[in-house]
Structure 1
């Protein structure tokens, strides 16, 4: 109770400080996915700090972790609002992961700030078992747009937490495993086993506790996506890092190139403008097909619904936009002809995407070509339907 009182006093007197540590791509250590914010309690002398291990256990034993966790998450949200170029992670205890009135105002604030929500990673720590209501808590966060990470997977209650949540965005494997055995082969086998388990829960796997170049090689061999540790970057004040512009950790709203396409902005033709071009094309070329525009617009909306149903939510938003562009390009080429103004306009836009993608992995460019071919096939079906006198849409 004495320690818990000290923490509450520190919150009230603004002596809770945040340090942050980078989480980087294992393939390119200069590529920061996000920064994990780490809590430090500034002692009354305001010169030295207490680390979490000295006060978190006491708060958890008293069931008071929500007091600290909500304070930290609020501070992190303020940083995200102030610095629009960073992505930050905030730790909360599994004990706090309950969808209740304590969190309601935070949920409402995040729902009103989607740009902030998508740059926030909530890391659920392993030090306490997850409540039964934890699944609803995680579902609410993800619906708002936040990323959810299971921290210290393989230690404490991490695996149990992961299995209870069932679906997260990131799993962070405990770095203790790297130093837990003198048998390197056994250690690597255990790490690979945990990576496979983690893949069943989340699409991104992070290995913590990286303190040497050798550990990075172990991480790469095990197949993790990202790494974190003192060798990658030591914890520093947030101010030391805020000028860094990390790439999107999972999803994006126009800057991510994790799928192999460039991270430059491209102006995708809005559906309203597309509809206007369709109407102009119909008036100029074939007024006998008054429902063609409605059929094309219906096809585009159907494609988007299908994409939302079958594509993982973590797939880059930009790739989704490119996929829509590829589909509409193929679709209009079949419906209106390759030489039509609308097809030519969309084809030029698609060619720009392809040119930018030449220096990047081929898999995404090939995917877009396949989607364009699918659009052409769908367009041919629409044309055949009109030819048989069928009514579209």
Structure 2
């Protein structure tokens, strides 16, 4: 049986996403950035758009997000999800959420003005919102993007650099959080020289941000390497598992 989503062209995918936005069929998929001990200490929940088509079937973000970017429509989707995240933060005073935006969205123009104003008027919400920027996009960071990040920090938001290590150049000065690209913990499974490389990258990140996160922690070996590198925060499939805390207690000296 063929997948109707794979047969859909980019215009059709974009149409499905915007119909979902109109019909309130866009939710927030959340993944925790957790303490390496896998206890209840969560830095924040990373959000992504969870979109269902008109038949109630989930759309694959790996397909529709690049399509929206290529069609220069991603800004509308990003603003919609950021507004949803802000609403969730307003409803839950202990919640902390993060969301990664496209560099196409990083323009502090009139369409973002209302969101900046709302964040400035609600500092208790702003301080619990993390906006993530992909590191490669900041290798040649432009003035508009710099100003966009500045406005967010001015409002009280946290700034995170995602996928750190791909180019190891940061356009935003003094980010609050740096997230190590998942490829580095995956490489660490193949030998000590890769573990040492991961550790060097962690040290470099720690010189530039208060919090460092290692992404892609998908099995117990990854968590052993993270512990060896001295990182506090992790994200991935293994640390979401119900038995992760029990495994840590049995295998790590924390």
TM-score where L is the length of structure 2? 0.83
Taking the aligned partners of 1:221 and 1:140, their CA distance within structure 2 comes to 37
Aligned to 1:63: 72
How far apart are 1:186 and its partner, in Å? Answer: 2.4
Taking the aligned partners of 1:193 and 1:213, their CA distance within structure 2 comes to 21
Structure 2 residue 146 is the aligned partner of structure 1 residue 166: no
Taking the aligned partners of 2:44 and 2:60, their CA distance within structure 1 comes to 22
List 4+ stretches of structure 1 deviating above 6 A.
none
Structure 2 residue 172 is the aligned partner of structure 1 residue 185: no
Q: Do the aligned partners of residues 231 and 182 (structure 1) sit closer, same or farther apart at CA in structure 2, a change above 3 Å counting? A: closer
Q: Which has the higher contact order (CA 8 A, sep 6+)?
A: 2
- SS of residue in 2 equivalent to 1:164: coil
2:160 to 143, 149, 152: 149
Q: Do the aligned partners of residues 117 and 182 (structure 1) sit closer, same or farther apart at CA in structure 2, a change above 3 Å counting? A: closer
Q: How many residues align?
A: 229
2:201 to 194, 200, 209: 194
Taking the aligned partners of 1:182 and 1:222, their CA distance within structure 2 comes to 13
- SS of residue in 1 equivalent to 2:24: coil
Q: Do the aligned partners of residues 22 and 145 (structure 1) sit closer, same or farther apart at CA in structure 2, a change above 3 Å counting? A: same
Taking the aligned partners of 2:135 and 2:77, their CA distance within structure 1 comes to 16
1:78 to 87, 107, 113: 87
5+ residue gaps, structure 2, are 1-10, 242-254
Structure 2 residue 14 is the aligned partner of structure 1 residue 14: no
Taking the aligned partners of 2:164 and 2:186, their CA distance within structure 1 comes to 15
Which structure 2 residues correspond to residues 352-391 of structure 1 after superposition, within 5 A? Answer: none
Contact 1:66–1:96 under 8 Å retained in 2: yes
Taking the aligned partners of 1:12 and 1:128, their CA distance within structure 2 comes to 30
Q: Do the aligned partners of residues 72 and 127 (structure 1) sit closer, same or farther apart at CA in structure 2, a change above 3 Å counting? A: farther
Taking the aligned partners of 2:135 and 2:76, their CA distance within structure 1 comes to 18
Which protein shows a greater Rg?
1
- SS of residue in 2 equivalent to 1:123: strand
Q: Do the aligned partners of residues 231 and 183 (structure 1) sit closer, same or farther apart at CA in structure 2, a change above 3 Å counting? A: closer
- SS of residue in 2 equivalent to 1:81: helix
How far apart are 1:231 and its partner, in Å? Answer: 1.0
- SS of residue in 1 equivalent to 2:238: coil
For 1:16-56, what per-residue CA distance to the aligned partner results, in whole angstroms no more than 9, with x for missing partners? 1211111112245331121111222112211x312321111
1:118 to 117, 122, 127: 127
- SS of residue in 1 equivalent to 2:204: helix
Which structure 2 residues correspond to residues 152-301 of structure 1 after superposition, within 5 A? Answer: 152-155=163-166, 159-160=168-169, 163-180=170-187, 183-233=190-240
**RMSD of aligned alpha carbons:** 2.0
- SS of residue in 2 equivalent to 1:180: helix
How far apart are 1:106 and its partner, in Å? Answer: 0.2
How far apart are 1:127 and its partner, in Å? Answer: 7.1
